[in-house]
Chain A
Amino acid sequence: MSYRLATGGRLIDRSRPLDFTFNGKTLRGFAGDTLAAALLGAGQTLVGRSFKYHRPRGIVASGAEEPNALVGMGEGQRFEPNQRTTTTELFSGLKAVSQNHWPSLDFDIGAVNAKLWRFFPAGFYYKMFIHPRSFWKHVYEPIVRQSAGLGKAPDAETRDADRYEQFYAHCDVLVAGGGIAGLTAARAAAAEGKRVIVIEQAAHWGGRAVVDGAEVEGQPAAGWVEAVLGDLHANPAVTVLNRTMAAGVHDHGYVLAYQRVADHEPGADKPRHRLWRVRAGHVIAATGAIERPLSFAGNDLPGVMLAAAVRDYVVNWAVSPGKRVVVVTNNDDAYRTALALHAAGVAVPVIIDARTEPRGALVEQARAAGLRVADGMAVRSVKGGKAVTGVELCRFDSDGGAVAETIACDAVAMSGGWSPVVHLWSHCGGKLLWDEAGAFFRPDPSRPPLGRDGQGFVTCTGAANGDLGDTDAAPMMPVWMMPAKADYLLRAKMWLDPQNDVKVSDVQLAAKEGYASVEHTKRYTTLGMATDQGKLSNINGLAILSDALGQPIPQTGTTTFRPPYTPISLGAIAGEARGPIFQPLRRTPMHAWHEANGAHWEPVGQWRRPYCYPRDGESHGHAVSREITQVRGSVGLLDASTLGKLLVTGPDAAKFLDMLYTNMMSTLKPGKCRYGLMCNENGFLSDDGVVARLDDQTFLCHTTSGGADRIHAWMEDWLQCEWWDWKVHVVNLTEEYAQIAVVGPNARKVLEKLGGDIDLSKEAFPFMDWREGRLGKFRARVFRISFSGELSYEIAVPASEGQAFWDALMQAGAEFGMMPYGTEALHVMRAEKGFIMIGDETDGTVIPQDLGLDWAVSKKKPDFLGKRGMERPAMTSADRWKLVGLETLDGSVLADGALAPLPGKNVNGQQETQGRVTSTYFSPTLGRGIAMGLVHRGPERMGEVIAFQTESGGRVEARIVDPCFYDKAGEKQNV
Chain B
Amino acid sequence: MKRYSVFAIAREAMRQHSGWDKAWASPEPKTHYDVVIVGAGGHGLATAYYLGKNFGITNVAIIEKGWLGGGNTGRNTTIIRSNYLQDPSAAIYEKARSLYETLSQDLNYNVMFSPRGVMMLAQTEHEIRGYKRTAMANALQGVETRFITPAEVKRIVPIMNIDGPRYPVLGALWQPRGGTARHDAVAWGYARACSAMGMHVIQNCEVIGVESVGGQVSAVATTKGTIGCTKLGIVVAGHSGHLANMAGFRLPVESVALQAMVSEPIKPAMDCVVMANTVHGYMSQSDKGEMVIGGGADHFNNYTQRGSWMHIEETVRALIETFPMLSRLKMLRQWGGIVDMTGDRSPIISKTPLGNTFINCGWGTGGFKAIPGSGWAMAELMAKGASPLAEEFSMYRFREGRFIDESVAAGVAH
Contacts and interface: CB of A to CB of B under 8 A. Distances in A.
Contacts of A152: 266-267
Interface of B: 4-6, 8-10, 12-14, 16-17, 20-26, 66-67, 69-70, 74, 87-88, 90-91, 95, 101-102, 104-105, 108-116, 123-126, 128-130, 132-137, 139-142, 158-160, 165-167, 179, 182, 184-185, 188-189, 203, 263-269, 278-279, 287-289, 304, 306, 308-309, 312-313, 316-317, 319-321, 323-335, 388-389, 391, 399-403, 405, 407-409
Contacts of A873: 400-401
Contact of B139 (A80, A519, A844, A953): A953
A80 B189 CA distance: 38
6 closest A-B pairs (Cβ-Cβ)?
Answer: A897-B133, A149-B289, A567-B330, A843-B408, A872-B401, A517-B67
27 contacts: A126-B109, A126-B111, A130-B105, A131-B5, A136-B110, A136-B114, A137-B179, A141-B112, A141-B114, A153-B325, A156-B159, A156-B325, A251-B304, A429-B306, A512-B20, A517-B66, A520-B69, A531-B265, A533-B332, A562-B333, A573-B316, A574-B327, A874-B401, A897-B132, A897-B134, A910-B140, A949-B140
A906 interface: yes
B329 A154 contact: yes
A396 interface: no
A113 to B, nearest CB: 13
Given A250-B309, A897-B136, 7 more contacts: A81-B329, A136-B104, A513-B20, A531-B265, A570-B327, A577-B317, A845-B405
Contacts of B319: 570
B21 A513 contact: yes
B335 A131 contact: no
Contacts of A526: 288
B13 A256 contact: no
A446 interface: no
B303 to A, nearest CB: 11
B316 to A, nearest CB: 4
B337 to A, nearest CB: 12
B264 A81 contact: yes
A724 interface: no
A578 B320 contact: yes
Interface string A232-259: 0000000000000000101100101000
Contacts of A531: 264-265, 332
A254 B327 CA distance: 24
Nearest to B323: A156
B264 A567 contact: yes
A869 B313 CA distance: 38
Given A153-B267, A949-B140, A563 B334 contact: yes
Contacts of A156: 158-160, 269, 323-325
Nearest to A561: B333
A577 B315 CA distance: 12
Nearest to A682: B401
Most chain A CB within a 10 A radius of its CB, from B23, B87, B130, B142: B23
A25 interface: no
Contacts of B116: 137
A908 B137 contact: no
A121 B317 CA distance: 39
A248 to B, nearest CB: 8
B247 to A, nearest CB: 26
A913 B140 contact: yes
A872 B4 CA distance: 54
Contacts of A517: 66-67, 70, 203
A899 B67 contact: no
Contact of B136 (A256, A578, A895): A895
Contacts of B133: 896-897, 916
A874 B268 contact: no
A145 B328 contact: no
B330 A128 contact: no
B384 to A, nearest CB: 14
Contacts of A129: 6, 110
Contact of B166 (A148, A523, A583, A911): A583
A515 B23 contact: yes
Contact of A133 (B6, B95, B104, B408): B104
Contacts of A568: 330-331
A582 B22 contact: no
A149 B9 contact: no
Contacts of A125: 110, 112, 182
B67 A519 contact: yes
A468 to B, nearest CB: 28
A516 interface: yes
Contact of B141 (A602, A611, A910): A910
A868 to B, nearest CB: 10
Contacts of B24: 514
A682 B140 CA distance: 29
Contact of A569 (B14, B328, B409): B328
A873 B396 CA distance: 12
A160 B188 contact: no
A568 to B, nearest CB: 6
A256 B261 CA distance: 16
A249 to B, nearest CB: 10
A560 B325 contact: no
Nearest to A52: B288
B137 A899 contact: yes
A895 B140 contact: no
